Structure 1
């Protein structure tokens, strides 16, 4: 083996031993390149053992190594028949103290498991799984829980029996962190089992974990309950899981109840319609009335999905009283969650019931003191509009929009601007022009730059909604009026607005209505305006060049103006005008 052949591995070793973390990271990210240079045999015989012996490093380096080993590294070792060699370094990484390194190592082990043969799994993977599952340190046992599901279907029946016993042992581990891992990964393990194995092995594991003295363990069993229910018949769910379901809903820890509320629709779909009608309606009502705001918020988010599983009369009799209470909830976050989801009930109730029961709550929330509540209602307006029509909403909607548009918090004003195109589509052009047109133009003069910028983008979106003819008649004249304003910020806004609008305008509109105003600002005394004029002219020229007539206008009017700006005294103006000329030279005909 000559010195030239040793060079790649020597460089890698030098960088890995460097005191500079960045050099070591660079070496790790180059592992595939080094393996390719070494060839499959030397990569197997030299590189992998070296990596396995070089695991005493910074967490950042170990994390990178855990990730790289799962990126198809087996291809550089000679293909899947040699993929098991990667398990050695990853087994060590799966037992380190740092959680993110262990998680990445288990992720990579599961990727490698997908390419292993049954023989490799029995000979190499299962022994690794046993070592991690029975390791002295809790870190290895924590990692082990994530490694069962990926290989269980490939294992022999005898090995499968042993794997289930090992997992049961993890669920009863003395260390809470291991039990948490067992609870977290049981939901992915259960689908790989037969129904008989779920009943004989997974169900006892679930019951043990769901009654754990640590709420951090119990809250993770909600997903397990859903997974187990998915493997059983409705009758079996009723017999085996009904009491567990009740216990979860009434758990003494609000964190567990929160998880139940947050997963309630999935849970309801898994357990079957009979249990939904007999048990879960009452459970859901209890969660909507929970004494913790976080639980009520999570339950409110599940309202539309759960309502789809119920009869209309049940929604009216059982859920709507709770919804009315939530609309006046003391927590603004609960009201905001309701505002985001209450409109989803309208399609299930129909027009008359929505008008009678939801509309008063809808209008109440539109007047809420908390801006997020009003914004959430407005963002979901389309759902209610489809059911009852906009006429019933417009009278109360408009004051809420105006109030939000003038809110002292500029982020609130910006948020309502983003919803204006959606509202415009729903309200129609006549209502918009009469009630909201002036409001949209007023944002162009806002004292916050971000609002002015959002307002210009808003005009382009409105043009896309209502069409170019509407823009030419309604907003373009108002934008151009600001081009002669004595305050330079208004003139700047004109340029920004035209630049934003240009791609949505036709060449004739640009030529006849817009171009003259922009060209007049070529002589503006403010350099910032002149270089933004150069940027604007670039956009206008590209839009004009889409037709022969427009292209001629670009050549005879836009290009000379940019050439004039290219001789400007200000370096920024010269730079942007030169850049514009280069750009449009490739777009003109």
Structure 2
């Protein structure tokens, strides 16, 4: 937006005048852009005018679209250097306090985050005179929005408060935990763990645990849901005996809560609670709760619990896994919900190292095979991505014998993402199977992927060939990869011919110089006669890549004449890429 100095010719008023004009503009995008440039405007104004003019103006601009206010809240969190440093940082608390009271949650959350940053920079005098009184005002505000925001500021305020102020803050937090408005209690519940981290250890048991226990039996399931998040942090802060006495019964009750959302959150958090309570308590007390969650009536809860199977089992003894968890795993592998099966498939392979070879063969392999044949593609994808976990335990011979038929079937799966996952696993599988076994079982399929109907599959197949050549060496590539690849160069579909050219380019750096010059290069040159311009300009691009790989004599004798001919082609793109390649040839020749 073009602006000029004011009528009196005072150029010092120019930046703030521009800002006022832009923030009054009806265009939201313009106002948003202006707010995002506040730091630049502040630099132009200087520290004193920023404090005296810009900050009061922003405080009066708190009635705007949510996206503008969100940007303002974020900018103010970085504004301490622009108002004159920590000694003047308290000036920023005024507009941030207004933003903490807005109706939109994301704006309030960002304002709380920015205010916490500013609070860390405040000198001690400003903390006592400005920051803590502000937190108290918000905590006792008439509208619930201010009280919700206050909950997120108690940890920052308490960390720097004096002993008398700390007692007041604890009392206020207790009131917020018992607030009449569920939204306030939710905020108090979600911030309780963070608040507990800065409260004196003796006060956690004395004051915070009773508040926590009240929140765990709140009539609103949304409050209980967020209270679950505090179990782990509080258990870590308490002595082990106190944690077992105070937190463990709550976790056990939560695992049977009447709200499936609460049980879902328990399933998500249970492993963190195990870490906090220790393996002995987890083995003795939490296994029944986990089994209940794995067999929950709600599919969403089973999804969350199934995704934690491997992590939870690492806390347990082998016999507990076999007796308590494996029966549930077998049930979940045929669960009616495809999302439960997918969640299980993503982690079940990781049980193999926990169980050992014998138990994996007896108990897990049937589960793997069942999930590999699942009708839902994400289930099959998740299993494929973790095959190496099983290989490390049972060995490649048994893995190939048990799973290779299923892998061969998945290599031609109707869902292209499944085929892509198999391709990406092929190099690892090849290194484990060995050249002979791989060539017999999966070699032909690698060639068929070059003619897949999906471009991503063809592209992945070309990278796959290069990795195989690197794995088994140039002689193996000469005998087993180069002939079938070159044999596809006359495919009637030009897209497949182009894929073959890309495959040749992938193999070129891996094969020997003789194979490249005597076998592969003539085929590439022959493709320059193709009727399709896309093929011809790809030939030019490929020849440019081959120039550094061959001798100068080959460039002069074979590559350059081909490019000169392409340089005279009727198609402009062919001429362009041929010209680029010829420049590369000239550079090599000159060198």
Bin the TM-score by the shorter chain.
over 0.9
Give the match for residue 127 of structure 1: 133
**CA contact under 8 A between 1:472 and 1:513: conserved in structure 2?**
no
**CA contact under 8 A between 1:407 and 1:413: conserved in structure 2?**
yes
RMSD (CA atoms):
2.4
**CA contact under 8 A between 2:555 and 2:585: conserved in structure 1?**
no
**CA distance in 2: counterparts of 1:165 and 1:528, whole angstroms:** 75
Give the match for residue 380 of structure 2: 374
How far the C-alpha of 1:230 sits from its partner, in A, is 0.5
Per-residue CA distance 1:392-430 (angstroms, 9 max, x = gap): 121232222222222223333233333333433443333
Give the match for residue 32 of structure 1: 39
**CA distance in 2: counterparts of 1:103 and 1:584, whole angstroms:** 60
Give the match for residue 181 of structure 1: 187
**CA distance in 2: counterparts of 1:21 and 1:586, whole angstroms:** 54
Give the match for residue 473 of structure 1: 479
**CA distance in 1: counterparts of 2:432 and 2:489, whole angstroms:** 31
Number of residues paired by the alignment?
583
For normalisation by structure 2, the TM-score amounts to 0.92
Unaligned runs of at least 5 residues, structure 1 = none
Equivalent in 218, 243, 266 of residue 212 of structure 1:
218
Per-residue CA distance 1:60-98 (angstroms, 9 max, x = gap): 21111112222x321122222222222221221121112
**Shift in alpha-carbon separation, 1:165–1:366, aligned structure 2, 3 A:** same
Give the match for residue 311 of structure 1: 317
More displaced, 320-329 or 219-228?
320-329
Alignment of 1:153-232 (within 5 A): 153-232=159-238
Alignment of 1:98-137 (within 5 A): 98-137=104-143
**CA distance in 1: counterparts of 2:315 and 2:482, whole angstroms:** 50
Equivalent in 271, 277, 283 of residue 277 of structure 1:
283
Give the match for residue 58 of structure 1: 65
**CA distance in 2: counterparts of 1:580 and 1:116, whole angstroms:** 62
**CA distance in 1: counterparts of 2:46 and 2:563, whole angstroms:** 58
How far the C-alpha of 1:199 sits from its partner, in A, is 1.0
For normalisation by structure 1, the TM-score amounts to 0.92
Give the match for residue 568 of structure 2: 567
**Shift in alpha-carbon separation, 1:257–1:429, aligned structure 2, 3 A:** farther
**CA distance in 2: counterparts of 1:67 and 1:228, whole angstroms:** 30
- 1:250 and 2:259 correspond: no
**CA contact under 8 A between 2:458 and 2:499: conserved in structure 1?**
yes
**4+ aligned runs moved over 6 Å, structure 1:** 583-588
Give the match for residue 494 of structure 2: 488
**CA distance in 2: counterparts of 1:468 and 1:113, whole angstroms:** 64
**CA distance in 1: counterparts of 2:339 and 2:98, whole angstroms:** 45
How far the C-alpha of 1:467 sits from its partner, in A, is 4.3
Equivalent in 341, 347, 356 of residue 353 of structure 2:
347
How far the C-alpha of 1:267 sits from its partner, in A, is 0.8
**CA contact under 8 A between 1:565 and 1:573: conserved in structure 2?**
yes
**CA distance in 1: counterparts of 2:572 and 2:211, whole angstroms:** 73
**CA distance in 2: counterparts of 1:468 and 1:79, whole angstroms:** 65
**CA contact under 8 A between 2:369 and 2:406: conserved in structure 1?**
no
How far the C-alpha of 1:221 sits from its partner, in A, is 1.5
Alignment of 1:318-467 (within 5 A): 318-467=324-473
How far the C-alpha of 1:280 sits from its partner, in A, is 0.5
**Shift in alpha-carbon separation, 1:533–1:258, aligned structure 2, 3 A:** same
**CA contact under 8 A between 1:444 and 1:452: conserved in structure 2?**
yes
How far the C-alpha of 1:252 sits from its partner, in A, is 0.8
**CA contact under 8 A between 2:508 and 2:546: conserved in structure 1?**
yes
Secondary structure, aligned partner of 1:291: coil
Give the match for residue 535 of structure 2: 529
**Shift in alpha-carbon separation, 1:138–1:581, aligned structure 2, 3 A:** farther
How far the C-alpha of 1:570 sits from its partner, in A, is 1.2
Secondary structure, aligned partner of 1:533: helix
More displaced, 458-467 or 285-294?
458-467
**CA distance in 1: counterparts of 2:443 and 2:209, whole angstroms:** 62
**CA distance in 2: counterparts of 1:414 and 1:101, whole angstroms:** 42
Alignment of 1:138-157 (within 5 A): 138-157=144-163
Secondary structure, aligned partner of 2:543: helix
Give the match for residue 48 of structure 2: 41
**CA contact under 8 A between 1:371 and 1:404: conserved in structure 2?**
no
How far the C-alpha of 1:298 sits from its partner, in A, is 1.6
Unaligned runs of at least 5 residues, structure 2 = 1-7
Give the match for residue 15 of structure 2: 8
